[in-house]
Amino acid sequence: MVIAIIGLLAALIIPNLTQIRAKARDAKRVEDLRQLQTALEMYYSDYNHYPVWTSGCLNASGSPLLSGGAYALVPDYMGSLPKDPLPNKYCYYYQSDSIGANFKLAAYLEKDTEKSQNDAGTASSYYEVYQGPTGSGSAINIDNDTLAAAMPGYVPPPPSWACGDTLTDDRDNKTYATVLIGTQCWMAEHLNYGTMTAGANNQGSDCPSVAETEKYCYGDTESSCTSDGALYQWAQAMCGAASCNGTGESQPACTTPVQGICPNGWHIPSHYEYTALERAVCTSGTCATDFPV
């Protein structure tokens, strides 16, 4: 009973402690930006412009606001430039216009999202402090994506995939070439998914996993599947789904793609897709005339 009570208290206290720490970090960020704003105003009073910098994290290598930089705030206006409480994830961001007439500071707030959204700035996910003759948050326009990409913990999104790129089957990490034919993307190599079974055996009709999906390899040799792809009975290829091999629009499965044994995001070609393939690669007199259309 004592252990159970301790566990219950921990479950209640730890999330609250996490929230409190995040809010404390947010409060420090807001105060740091206010102190930076004061230092920048003192700099402006001496030079009649703010430090000129296209943009970047205050403490990043090459920052002109660091001690020894072209527009250093340290040590004349601040003892040191403050850092975000989580410096491996976030930073304080500075940007001026081309002549130093306006500046903007930005910081990411973990919990105080209302303050970020109501600061009249241009990035709704970041708290912004700005100053200049216009006194407007939009005098320097920074968006959420630009700020996110500047943060030390930024992880760029994976590159977009396009037909012709290599396809990776996330079920077993095998890779396949792809090719665009007409307007359709096709795998340019035979699928090799599943576990080999002897050619004398019937394959199953479902595909719950690579271990339970059965395939034939020529000569009952795995290396044949590696080099030339696998062979499947129709029920196994469709993973037990309804047939999409009929002709005529009365076949509903032919207008509803069936993934079957294909990698995620891919499907068994329908009758109509085979027809489109034929029309894309054939010209008059070069293909069999009895291909169903």
Residue-range definition of the domain harbouring residue 47: 23-150
The SS3 of residue 162 is coil
146 plus 28 within the same structural domain: yes
How would you classify the pairing of strands 195-196 and 214-215? parallel
Q: Which residue has the tokens 């309804």?
A: 242
Q: What pLDDT score was predicted for residue 211?
A: 92
Q: Mean pLDDT throughout 145-165?
A: 93
- Same-domain pairing of 217 and 143: no
Average pLDDT over residues 259-268: 92
> What's the pLDDT at 292?
46
Same domain, 138 and 171: no
CA distance 269 to 291: 15
Tell me the average pLDDT across 196-205. 93
Q: What is the pLDDT of residues 22-54, one digit of tens each?
A: 999 999 999 999 999 999 999 999 999 999 999
Q: What is the pLDDT of residue 279?
A: 87
DSSP 4-16: HHHHHHHHHHHHH
DSSP code per residue over 64-89 = TTSTTSTT--TTTT-SS----SSTTT
Q: Residues in the chain, how many? A: 293
In sequence order, what are the residues at sequence separation of 6 or more whose Cβ sits closer than 8 angstroms to the Cβ of residue 30?
107, 109, 112, 115, 127
Mean pLDDT computed over 120-129: 94
Per-residue pLDDT band for 250 (boundaries 50, 70, 90) equals very low
Q: What is the DSSP letter of 203?
A: P
The answer to whether residue 107 sits within a structural domain is: yes
- Inside any domain, residue 17: no
Q: What is the pLDDT of residue 26?
A: 96
- Tell me, yes or no, whether 103 and 181 share the same domain: no
Sequence-separated contacts (24+) of 248-253 with Cβ below 8 Å:
none
Indicate whether 170 pLDDT > 50.
Answer: yes
Highest mean predicted confidence (pLDDT) among 1-10, 33-42, 236-245, 280-289: 33-42
Q: Tell me, yes or no, whether 204 and 234 share the same domain.
A: yes
**Location of structure tokens 């059965």:** 214
pLDDT of residue 257: 77
Into how many domains does the chain fold?
2
**Residue 2 lies inside a defined structural domain of this protein:** no
Q: What pLDDT is stored for residue 244 in this prediction?
A: 56
117 burial via Cβ count (<10 Å: 0-12, 13-18, 19+)? middle
Q: Of 150, 178, 195, which one is at a domain's C-terminal end?
A: 150
Same domain? 172 vs 276: yes
Mean pLDDT, the chain, rounded, equals: 87
Out of 150, 185, 211, a domain closes at: 150
Please give the C-alpha separations between residue 168 and each of 1, 149, 164, 172, 229, in angstroms, as whole numbers: 51, 27, 12, 8, 15
Q: Are residues 120 and 218 both part of a single domain?
A: no
